[in-house]
Amino acid sequence: METLNALIQANIGVGAGVAIGTAIGFSLRKRAGKTSGLIGESVFVTSALMGMVGMSVAMLMSYLGWF
């Protein structure tokens, strides 16, 4: 459990950065009227999920020692 906590703390910035970046990008896209690609027609849900995926990938790479 300590390893998981350490990985989360080391990679939380990656998840936050991906979530903020996708929120900005998808909100601009939704404002233009293009809602395809959004999960549940929601910018928040889509960006939160993308942030979790990004953080998970960074955690896996960190765990395997790739960076």
CA distance 48 to 2: 24
pLDDT higher than 80, residue 1: no
pLDDT, tens only, 6-40: 999 999 999 999 999 999 999 999 898 888 888 98
Torsion of CA 55, 57, 38, 28, to 10 degrees: 60
Q: pTM higher than 0.95 for the full model?
A: no
